Amino acid sequence: MPATGIKHKPLSDALQRIEETLAAKRKNPARAMAMTQMSLDADEEAVRRDVEQALIAQLPLWENQVRGLPNPLARSALFSVARQNEPRQHLKERPITSVKGVEIFYTGEELRQDDEDVFLNLVHLARSQPLGHEVSFTAYSMLKSMGWPTSAPSYERLRLCILRLTANAVEIRFDAGSGKRGYGGTLVQEFTFKDESDRQWKVRLNPKLITLFGTDAYTQLDWRQRLKLRSPLAKWLHGFYYTHREPFGYKVETLKGLCGSSAQQLYHFRNGLKKALELLVEQGFLKSWKIDPMTDVVTVVRNARPQILLGA
């Protein structure tokens, strides 16, 4: 059930207020004409706020052991698999490699799998209240939930991840079951923090992110499995294949582009891919995998989803 700590007037109240305002003007036009423009503006602004408040979006409520991941993000190189110690690129309106039916253009510092971990956690925290309201947390609790060390470098890493998620512009267009959809803006709208012993943070997400969380546009992935994966490529593959109920084959070269690998040679990527796929078998996500020696096509067989995720 939705959180009850924040209460909003239902849409019917706002519409009733609009109707009462119109009725009063019809009943007494002279009085209506006598009202100052300032009063009119104030009344209309109040009604507008009521309507906006009534229509405010809220994310789906999934279980605590899962995270909601928009399919267009998982099926693209927006969060690349480059390692933490590699220099990050600064991109300007860069087309991001993605599957057919998804178009992404990105401006900002390159995003990676640690940025995705933070984004997934922020969205997870935001799901219990109207989207666009502040999400409060301590840096310590965020680090613990992601399995990061609670050390000074990790606090700085978290700060930089949130900063990157804020200081960007992303345009996403994708095919959904009900037609073409799109989102344009930042992944995090704004943040504040107190650099004290508890390091309290407040983050606000853009309410229009709800576009990426339609029933046919996002996937609930197993967070506990993802936490066990230390390889950026294994994490990306985990999210990518989670969005496919029945995974089909992709060429090694195609996967290299989709995950944003910086490997110079395809055989280097292929070797890393084999290790990452084996990790997914060890963690119980995949039952098996193979790379056809003739076509270089990768096929995987997934294990059955945990009972809690069968509807995801």
Assess whether pLDDT exceeds 90 at residue 216: no
3-state SS, one letter per residue, for 91-131 = EEEEEECECCCEEEEEEEECEEHHHHHHHHHHHHHHCCCCE
DSSP classification of residue 79: E
In the prediction, which pLDDT does 114 show?
96
Across the range 28-37, mean pLDDT stands at 48
Q: What is the pLDDT of residues 42-81, one digit of tens each?
A: 555 544 544 444 345 889 989 999 999 999 999 999 999 9
CA–CA distance, 275 with 279 (Å, rounded to integer): 6
CA-wise closest residue to 222 among 99, 76, 54, 64: 64
Average pLDDT over the chain reads 84
- Under DSSP, the state recorded for 147 is T
Give me the pLDDT at residue 135, please: 93
Collapsed DSSP state (helix, strand, coil) of residue 276:
helix
Give the chain's count of helices (H) and strands (E): 11, 14
Give dist(CA 42, CA 23) in Å, integer. Answer: 18
Model's pTM, two decimal places?
0.80
| Phi/psi at 228 (5° precision) | -80, -10
